[in-house]
A and B are shown apart, each in its own frame.
Chain A
Amino acid sequence: AIRMTQSPSSLSASTGDRVTITCRASQGISSYLAWYQQKPGKAPKLLIYAASTLQSGVPSRFSGSGSGTDFTLTISCLQSEDFATYYCQQYYSYPHTFGQGTKLEIK
């Protein structure tokens, strides 16, 4: 199985900050990567697919990049509603593994 490793596991930031979360795959996955946001007690929400394509309705302050094994999710100007846990997921091959998550907290 492909292992997905996110860093950092947790991150403290302030409203207005620019933050970057990294996701590394244990083998190449081309651009078959999605990013999800999850708030406590809620279902995950798709933010980005194909590594860099913004899902409809997602604010443009979210962006994704990368291909192969290294990927990033960037939030350009943090808003209060962005404090949540973020997961990457590869869908290059089965099983479709997730990263362990990055919890973004208010500083």
Chain B
Amino acid sequence: EVQLVESGGGLVQPGGSLRLSCAASGFTFSSYWMSWVRQAPGKGLEWVANIKQDGSEKYYVDSVKGRFTISRDNAKNSLYLQMNSLRAEDTAVYYCARVEFLDYMDVWGKGTTVTVSS
């Protein structure tokens, strides 16, 4: 079964850091671009970042550039999101998703919740 499982969410103070992980199984992880998407409480979906199969290309939404870093470890079938200088507006459920070759997202994890608050 194709599956993505996020972890690492929690409560963090403004200015703090958090690292999210996404464990992939049931498919050849190294063959796919991967993505992070977030959803603030009661709000819509926001694409956050994409990473190429070998990690050589990365793209970010402007609001997280310079603060968040997407990475992956193909040997561990894992995707990561390092989040630094966190702000209240980063509070959201963070989903990892598999990106199909045309760049749409066909498999999603259940999400992990990040709360930035003092």
Contact = CB atoms under 8 A, between A and B. Distances in A.
B1 interface: no
Contacts of B50: 94, 96
Interface in B48-62: 50, 59-62
Interface string A38-60: 10001111100110000100000
Contacts of B109: 43
Given A50-B102, A89-B104, A43 B111 contact: yes
| Band of interface residues on A | 20 to 34
Contact of B47 (A38, A46, A98, A101): A98
A49 B102 contact: yes
Nearest to A56: B106
Nearest to A97: B47
A1 to B, nearest CB: 8
B103 A91 contact: yes
Given A43-B108, A43-B110, A44-B108, A99 B44 contact: yes
B44 A87 contact: yes
Contacts of B105: 34, 36, 44, 46, 89
Interface of B: 35, 37, 44-47, 50, 59-62, 95, 100, 102-106, 108-111
6 tightest A-B CB contacts, nearest first: A91-B103, A34-B104, A43-B108, A49-B104, A96-B47, A101-B44
8 contacts: A42-B110, A44-B45, A44-B105, A46-B108, A55-B106, A91-B103, A95-B62, A99-B44
